Structure 1
Amino acid sequence: MLYKFSPLHSFVDVQSLGWEVLKEGQYTIPLPRLSPDEQELIIEVENYFREITRIREFSSPEETKDELLSTLSRVCHEKGYEIDEEQETYLVNVAYLHIYGLGFFEHLLADNNIEEIALIGLGKPVYVYVKGKGWLKTNALISSETYLMELVNKMASLLGRRITLQNPRLDTTLPDGSRLHASLPPISNGEITIRRFNATPLSMKSIVSFGTMRNNLVAIMSLLMQGDFSVLVAGNTASGKTTVLNSLFSFVPYNERILITEETPEINVLQEHSVRLVANPDMDIKLLDLVYDSLRMRPDRIVVGEIRNKEEARALLDVLLAGQARGAYATFHGKSAEEALSRLMSFGISEMDVNSIDAILVQRRMMLYDRQKRRVEERRRATSLNLVIESKPVPIFTYNVNKDSWKITNMPLVYDVIGARLGLSNKEVKEEIAKRTALMEKAPSDFKDFYKFMQRSLYGLA
């Protein structure tokens, strides 16, 4: 046997915690596999402990675990169960996670390399999406619909939200910014999807270090941001659209007023004079409403978050056409700049209005097959940067997937367009791109340090 638990009296009608750790998985959660008897013992401890908490509160995890240990010893003594010191330690830890925490989900939520957590059904292993590795099967599952409801309601409790058999669907944003979707039968066989929010954003230095783009592309993007170009970041799901858009604000002067409208809080700028407005479907507050509200708030820059439908696309274009902000920014699903513009026009946006978008950066998440290693590897790349001229995308940077390299084109146009916005000659724009490319080499990787470095280097600020 894996564990040494040997009760003097066997349990009958063994109960389950509602979750369990399996023998193996591609992603290993460092928790012990419990025997049915050990699970039953933890349930006994839980029942005793809940009675204790009716009359007593605990001020720290340590104090709580001490009381759980006392309760465990008491139950074992009263029931005549024998456990050793090793079992005692891990049973208390598991009991604490089960009663006060989120079970094995605590370990998943503590791993910053995990981008997404997915329960695909009761009795099936939970999957996690790990940076650089893709989807991995964990060594844990949820077996009980009751526990699934308890787990979801624990996560959503601070928001005053609940999932029930009468209301078997929940879609909300957790306090840390992560997005939670959960559903029960008959909608699904039990489902949880958590898209993690990175509380510490990536700097452009880090993004370049991952191979997503090159320093000279960042240098040009920094001039677009300084020149008040309105930028659309397009791409497929999980390609890093929001991450890149967020990092571009390091090139916006610290004293500008930035208005952020989102359905899910994701943009995290360091400019102090920033205001975030978050849509709330439960209160019938739509992103569209917030975008129009923002026009009356005198912003220097407006972020519209992710454009998903005709109304939101129209709102973005209204922002651009109104001229209330010097620059407007959004993310949008599209595999190319051509597809992004085509989709916008399919929403009823005219060719003339599309010209109010100055530039489109396209991000792609690709799964490439390595024949030598015989495995699929994930790659995120900026596949093109385009200026929008006469309703058509004109590429500046294009990516070659076979060579994993970029080609620069139409640079005279870049010099003309940026120079016209910033009052610089073509020669000065060229020199500025070279200067900023060199700055990227020297810049620190930390998000805040990168921001301060660029503010100081470009504007003499902060």
Structure 2
Amino acid sequence: MRHCRRVMHMGGRYSGSGVADMFRSLRSSIPWQMGRGWRKSDEMPVASDDRGGNGSDLPAFPELSCDNGQTCIDRYWLRPPYSYAAILRDAADVLTYRLVEPPLTSRELILLEETHEYLRDTVVLDDPKTKSRTNLQLSDVARIIRHFDPGIADERIGVLHYYLGRNFLGYGKIDGMMHDEQIEDISCNGDGVPVYVYHRVHSSLPTTIRFTGDELNLFIMKLAQKADKQISLTTPLVDAALPDGSRTQLTFSNVVSTRGSSFTIRKFKSEPMTPLDLIAYDTYSPEVLALIWLAVENRKSMLVVGGTASGKTSTMNAVSFFIPSNAKIVSLEDTREIQLPHENWLPTQTRETNIISTKADIDLFSLLRSALRQRPEYIIVGEVRGMEAQTLFQAMNSGHTTYSTLHAGTIEEAINRLTHDPINVPRAMFGALDLIVIQSLHYENGMIRRRCDSLHEISVTPAGEVKWSTLYEWDPRAGRFRRVAFGSQILDEIAAMHGWDDEEVGRHLAMRELFLASAAKDKYQTAADLLAAIRNLEKSNGVPVPAA
């Protein structure tokens, strides 16, 4: 068990003129070889112009009519050349998200319904597995449409094919939003209420889309069907994963809410969150991530703590890139969110059955007990909220490196949650927990940002009292992370493990910081390429080598 002891200022131990000189000399000698990346400049979608907005081969945007004095401040293609997103600002400076799709004539609406009915009679829509394998080929759709209207123009067939795909296999009137990489979640709080989206750049926005009561009920049932779940008046709550990995929470009719049915979709990011994304979003600095990197690489356990939508899982996913490539990893989640490029990774998830199912429930506690029998080196748990936390701390105290998230606002709240009902982790077991990261949402210039508030080391006194020392904290006045005047027990332990002196510890931290700072400005091809570059750095014992 690690106990509190007097430590020296980190700046006096692991930095100084020697390390600083080494840091500067390395800057010009690193042969970074990376590909395409998400850079700070990509944070705002590229401003659009009449050619399609980004100098590429995208088609020109059609003319957009705005009502009530609105002006379009941003637009970008979603499914060119048919749908694009437009961000509108009115005279009161209120922003609205508008999903723009090609209009249909009354005859085309009838033709669309006729074709849809024909396809519905041909394909078994009630079987989600059959439906997921269905592919609406343009040639087949064109043949069916021409059967109903031989004189239709070719370009209008493409438009009808788009609508058939979004209605038949997609998500109906919100399908374009599901293709918008700038949107994090989509929610509808009842019939007649605007659908809201959370935009990565413009934060929470109302949209121009609304559902009627019957329309919303049918859509809720469609979402449940896509998730292979049943929803009804007897089971009006459903929490599930959609085929693309997005998480959805559904309520049916007015059993739960007086506003009627509702849904929330937390979209699945197609590319995994990486450490470079955390830097690009200004959530972490390279210096803070360098310390976390060294801790993760040396099997130190960590909790990521924060409120709802503060980016806890994204951070946990990103820092998992620092896990050695051949280490055995087992992840446990209610709904799949974690994405790792590691080959020796076993992702598992819980199963919650409905009343009529003959399958047994599989909860996090069961998955965790099973994972401990698989000899994992690293265990990643999506979130701890109950008795599985005790098993998680048992795993830590038995030598397993573990990472998880917890809902809390501060370090004090996190310790209180963990040590009281319903979690009740014995205080003596906190000696195996090394780091706690605190994240939150910040409002800056009208924008919402996710940011690490502080990084803490955890220790237990001989009397069994849980203590913590703050390594870094965000300084809002200076707009940067500030190193707090405490030493690091973790770095002391890592130094003792490798036989390093203070200067060597400083060199390894500086090397990782420089790598992250340079790579964040550079480019990389895929998450796997980033992982390979990280491995090259580790294999060279901190001396950068070219990518293969």
TM range (shorter): 0.7 to 0.9
Among 449, 456, 459, the alignment partner of 2:536 is 456
Query: Is 2:313 the partner of 1:235?
Result: no
Distance 2:202 2:193 in 1: 21
> What letter matches 1:140 in structure 2?
I
Name the CA shift for 1:279/1:92 in 2 (closer, same or farther; >3 Å).
closer
Q: Does residue 1:274 correspond to 2:345, yes or no?
A: yes
Q: 1:287 aligns with which of 352, 364, 371?
A: 364
Aligned counterparts of 1:406 and 1:250: Cα–Cα separation in 2: 22
1:217 Cα deviation after fit: 0.8
Cα-to-partner distance string for 1:361-418 (whole Å, 9 max, x where unaligned): 11111223x3xxxxx2111111111111221121000112233211102453354243
> Superposition RMSD on alpha carbons, in Å?
3.1
Deviation at 1:236, TM superposition (A): 1.3
1:251 aligns with 2:322: yes
Aligned AA for 1:452?
A
- Partner residue in 2 for 1:263: 334
**Letter of the 2:443 counterpart:** M
Seen in structure 2, the aligned counterparts of structure 1 residues 68 and 97 have a Cα distance that, compared at 3 Å, is farther
Deviation at 1:453, TM superposition (A): 0.5
Which residue matches 2:208?
139
1:225 is displaced (CA, Å) by 0.7
Aligned residue for 1:354?
430
Moved more, 121-130 or 405-414: 405-414
Distance 2:210 2:140 in 1: 26
| Cα distance in 1, alignment partners of residues 413 and 467 from structure 2 | 11
Letter in 2 for 1:453: A
Query: How many aligned positions are there?
Result: 425
More displaced stretch, 38-47 vs 202-211 = 38-47
Residue from 478, 488, 504 that aligns with 1:413: 488
In the alignment, the residues of structure 1 paired with residue 338 and residue 169 of structure 2 have an alpha-carbon distance, to the nearest angstrom, of 31
Partner residue in 1 for 2:232: 164
The aligned residue for residue 397 of structure 1 is 472
SS in 2 for 1:348: coil
* Cα pair distance change 1:50/1:274, threshold 3 Å: closer
2:377 alignment partner in structure 1: 300
- Separation in 2 of the partners of 1:121 and 1:36? 28
Q: Give the share of equivalent positions with the same residue, in percent.
A: 27
What corresponds to 1:430 in structure 2? 506
Q: Post-superposition shift, 1:50?
A: 4.1
Provide the C-alpha distance between the structure 1 equivalents of 2:108 and 2:322, rounded to a whole number of angstroms.
56
The residue aligned with 2:280 is 209
Identify the residue that residue 177 of structure 1 maps to in structure 2.
245
User: Against the structure 1 CA distance between its residues 313 and 86, is the aligned structure 2 distance closer, same or farther, given a 3 Å change threshold?
Assistant: same
- Specify the SS of the correspondent of 2:529: helix
1:129 paired with 2:206, answer no
* Aligned 8 A contact 1:215 1:440 in 2: yes
Cα separation, partners in 2 of 1:96 and 1:450, compared to 1, 3 Å: closer
SS of 2:178's equivalent? helix
C-alpha contact (below 8 Å) 1:227/1:421 kept by paired residues: no
**Matching residue's letter, 2:142:** D
CA deviation map 1:436-461 (0-9, x unaligned): 11111333454222211011111259
List aligned pairs for 1:362-377, cutoff 5 A.
Answer: 362-368=438-444, 370=445, 376-377=446-447
Q: How does 1:323-342 map to 2 (within 5 A)?
A: 323=399, 325=400, 327-342=401-416
TM-score (norm 1): 0.83
Which residue does the alignment assign to 2:35?
none
Partner of 1:110: 179
Q: Work out whether residues 399 and 406 of structure 1, in 8 Å CA contact, stay in contact via their aligned partners in 2.
A: yes
The CA distance in 1 between the partners of 2:402 and 2:531, in whole Å, is 20
Secondary structure of residue in 1 paired with 2:208: strand
CA distance in 2, matches of 1:163, 1:438: 52
Shift of 1:314: 1.2
Match of residue 31 from structure 1: 101
Q: Which runs of 5+ in 2 are unaligned?
A: 1-63, 66-84, 89-94, 125-130, 354-359, 461-465, 542-547
C-alpha distance in structure 2 between counterparts of 1:50 and 1:439, whole Å: 54
Aligned equivalents of 1:394 and 1:232: distance in 2? 15
TM-score by length of structure 2 reads 0.70
- Contact between 2:223 and 2:242, CA under 8 Å: does it hold in 1? yes
Maintained 8 Å contact 1:341/1:354: no
AA aligned to 1:214 is S
Instruction: Trace 1:38-49 onto structure 2 (pairs within 5 A).
Output: 39=109, 42-47=112-117
What is the CA–CA distance in structure 2 between the aligned matches of 1:143 and 1:152, rounded to whole Å? 12
Residues 61, 89 of structure 1: alpha-carbon distance in 2 compared, 3 angstrom cutoff: closer
What one-letter code is carried by the residue in structure 2 that aligns with 1:185? Answer: S
| 1:224-268 CA-partner distances (Å, limit 9, x unpaired) | 112211111111111111111111122221111111111111122
| CA–CA distance in structure 1, aligned partners of residues 291 and 468 of structure 2 | 16
Q: Any idea what SS the aligned residue of 2:388 has?
A: helix
Secondary structure of 1:26 counterpart: strand
CA distances 1:97-137 after superposition (whole Å, capped 9, x unpaired): 33343222221111111110101112222111111221111
**Contact 2:455–2:470, Cα closer than 8 Å, also in 1:** yes
The residue type equivalent to 1:378 in the other structure is I
Uncovered stretches (5+) of structure 1, i.e. residues with no partner:
4-20, 78-82, 371-375
Query: What is the SS of the residue equivalent to 1:306?
Result: coil
Summarize the Cα distance change of 1:64–1:26 in structure 2 as closer, same or farther, 3 Å threshold.
farther
What amino acid does structure 1 have at the position aligned with 2:99? I
Report which structure shows greater RCO (CA 8 Å, sep ≥6).
2
Q: Aligned in 2, Cα 1:40/1:122: closer, same or farther, shift over 3 Å?
A: farther
Flag the 1:190–1:458 CA change in 2: closer, same or farther, 3 A.
Answer: same
Deviations 1:336-374 (Å, cap 9, x if unpaired)? 222211211113222211222111111111223x3xxxx
| Cα separation, 1, equivalents of 2:538 and 2:342 | 15
Equivalents in 1 of 2:497, 2:297: separation in Å?
9
The residue type paired with residue 227 of structure 1 is N
Mark the CA change 1:384 to 1:50 in structure 2 (over 3 Å): closer, same or farther: closer
SS at match of 1:148: helix
SS of the equivalent of 2:195 reads strand
> Cα offset for 1:194?
0.6
- The 8 Å contact of residues 49 and 68 in structure 1, kept in 2 or not, is answered as no
1:331 deviates by: 0.7
2:273 is aligned with 1:197: no
Deviates more, 1:445-454 or 1:171-180: 445-454
Tell me how far apart the structure 2 counterparts of residues 71 and 190 of structure 1 sit (CA, whole Å): 38
The 1:251–1:165 alpha-carbon spacing in structure 2 relative to 1, beyond 3 Å, is: same
Q: CA deviation at 1:92?
A: 5.5
